[in-house]
């Protein structure tokens, strides 16, 4: 009934200061929810970017079983056909072949086990950020097939520096015979990911294939999609299509399941934060409505006396809660947007901080979604109505005579 909507709004505006304070409290709760969600999304994006863009890629194709065994002879089957097909994929932005093997790097001073990666410098460039994290030397600038890039931590372990020579030993495919070669440190990189900086080295693809005696074969093709979401879309037919010939195509969530778990944990913590915020907000709403009810008890008595049904009293108080929710939602959305707008321009500097094995390498920016301004406000609205039912039923159950006696 319109009269109750009118009454609800007028009652809300009756004590503007109290309504403003209550609305602000609920609004801050909503804004906090929006901000937490936006920051978590931003953090997810940042972590995915850090994890995928640095080296891994958003997906990869390998021979089945290679990931677990790292056997040098488990190369991608029908490589030429796979590459030809990939070149036709419109959803794919870039891809690059790689050779991966465990190796031993030794300098005159020390030795260390490493993961040796053979890369094609040209096609690797748009897929990973190796070229961007070189802190000394250069990224395969010449034609020297004995160039090797190592991490700064590995350089420390091996007590070696730019221009020094290293011997790398690998186990050949098939026979398992040891194969050694001499390399010159042409570049030192720093990903700020300790495992990579301490235990990875990059050489040219052709040289790696030669050392392993695998001909033109490769162990992995790293993928970058035009739409970054594709990497995590398990329903994409792409994965099926390239999981043939005993090969296996997977997106980053399967490559880094721990990252997905971290995100699930983050979402769960959002729910917990949401629950706590809503709990605090609920007490605020109940308190506000009860204060308002007690101040106006005689009015409820009068309304009941002149023939207003108890259900209509419930309606009236519920509309008041709803009106308060609307005001709060407007305030919360404006506040949430404003805070995120500022953070989206300034960013939050977590660079260098490692979380769940991933180091933040860029500023953290919150990610706003339309959903945050629909879903959370709806939660707040329905929650406020739900919480408002308690004082509403209390008011409806009061006997009219008792209600009027209380205030007179």
Interacting residue ranges for another protein, rule: CB under 8 A: 1, 3, 6-7, 10-11, 14, 298-299, 301-312, 399-402, 404, 408
Pick from 331, 323, 328, 335: nearest CA to 281: 328
- Provide the minimum distance between the beta carbon of 402 and another protein in the complex, in angstroms, as a whole number: 8
What is the per-residue DSSP string for 125-165? TTT--GGGSEEEE-SS-S--TTEEEEEHHHHHHTT--TT-E
The least CB distance from residue 308 to another protein, in Å, is 6
In the complex, least distance from residue 13 CB atom to another protein, rounded to whole angstroms: 8
Write down the least CB distance from residue 331 to another protein, Å. 22
Quick one: which of 50, 57, 62 has its CA closest to 127? 57
Q: Which is nearer to another protein, 306 or 370 (CB)?
A: 306
Give DSSP secondary structure letters for 16-65: HHHHHHHHHHHHHHHHHHHHHHHHHHHHHHHHHIIIIIIII-SEEEEETT
Q: Give the Cβ contact number of residue 352 at 10 Å.
A: 9
By beta-carbon proximity to another protein, the closer residue of 24 and 312 is 312
Minimum separation from the CB atom of position 404 to another protein (A)? 7
* DSSP labels, 379-392: HHHHHHHHHHHHHH
Which of residues 166 and 293 has its CB atom nearest to another protein in the complex? 293
Where helices occur in 194-349 by DSSP H, the ranges are 194-199, 205-212, 237-241, 252-255, 257-295, 297-305, 310-346
For residues 72 and 56, give the distance between their C-alpha atoms in angstroms, rounded to a whole number: 19
72: helix, strand or coil: coil
Nearer to another protein, 50 or 318 (CB): 318
Least Cβ distance, residue 236 to another protein (angstroms): 58
Place of tokens 């706590």: 276
Report in angstroms how near the CB of residue 311 gets to another protein at its nearest.
8
> Cβ contacts of residue 340 below 8 Å, gap of 6+?
34, 35, 38, 366, 368
Is 363 in a helix, a strand, or coil? Answer: coil
Give 78 or 309: the residue with its C-beta nearer to another protein: 309
Token code pair at residue 383 = 């929650």
Name the residue nearer to another protein (CB basis): 122 or 408: 408
- Minimal distance, residue 21 CB to another protein, in Å: 20
Q: Which is nearer to another protein, 156 or 299 (CB)?
A: 299
- 293-302 burial, b for 16+ CB within 10 Å, e for fewer? beebbbbbbe
Which residue's CB is nearer to another protein, number 11 or number 52?
11
Residue 250 token pair: 């997977």
């Amino acid at each position: 009934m319109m009269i109750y909507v009118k009454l609800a709004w007028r009652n809300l505006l009756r004590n503007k200061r109290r309504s403003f304070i209550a609305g602000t409290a609920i609004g801050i709760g909503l804004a906090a929810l929006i901000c937490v969600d936006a920051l978590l999304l931003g953090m997810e994006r940042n972590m995915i970017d850090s994890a995928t863009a640095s080296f891994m890629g958003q997906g990869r194709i390998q021979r089945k079983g290679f990931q677990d065994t790292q056997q040098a002879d488990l190369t991608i089957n029908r490589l030429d056909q796979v590459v030809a097909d990939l070149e036709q994929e419109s959803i794919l932005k870039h891809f690059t072949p790689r050779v991966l093997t465990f190796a031993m790097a030794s300098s005159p001073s020390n030795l260390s086990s490493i993961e040796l990666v053979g890369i094609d410098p040209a096609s690797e460039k748009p897929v990973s950020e190796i070229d961007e994290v070189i802190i000394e030397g250069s990224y395969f600038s010449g034609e020297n097939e004995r160039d090797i890039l190592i991490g700064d931590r590995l350089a420390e372990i091996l007590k070696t520096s730019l221009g020094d020579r290293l011997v790398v030993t690998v186990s050949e495919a098939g026979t398992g015979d040891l194969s050694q070669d001499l390399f010159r440190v042409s570049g030192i990189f720093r990903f700020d990911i300790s495992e990579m900086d301490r235990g990875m080295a990059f050489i040219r693809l052709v040289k790696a294939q030669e050392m392993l005696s695998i001909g033109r074969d490769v162990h992995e093709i790293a993928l970058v999609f035009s739409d970054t979401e594709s990497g995590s879309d398990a329903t994409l037919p792409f994965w099926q299509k390239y999981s043939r010939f005993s090969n296996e195509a997977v997106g980053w969530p399967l490559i880094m399941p721990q990252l997905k778990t971290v995100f699930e944990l983050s979402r769960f913590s959002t729910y917990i934060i949401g629950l706590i915020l809503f709990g605090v907000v609920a007490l605020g709403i109940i308190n506000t409505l009860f204060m308002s009810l007690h101040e106006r008890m005689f009015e409820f008595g009068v309304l009941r006396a002149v023939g207003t049904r108890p259900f209509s009293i419930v309606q009236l108080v519920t509309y008041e809660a709803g009106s308060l929710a609307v005001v709060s939602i407007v305030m919360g959305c404006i506040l949430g947007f404003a805070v995120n707008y500022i953070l989206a321009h300034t960013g939050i500097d977590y660079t260098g901080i490692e979380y769940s094995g991933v180091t933040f390498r860029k500023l953290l920016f919150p990610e706003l979604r339309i959903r945050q301004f629909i879903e959370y406000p709806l939660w707040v609205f329905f929650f406020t109505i739900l919480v408002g039912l308690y004082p509403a039923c209390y008011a409806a159950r009061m006997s009219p005579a008792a209600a009027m006696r209380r205030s007179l």
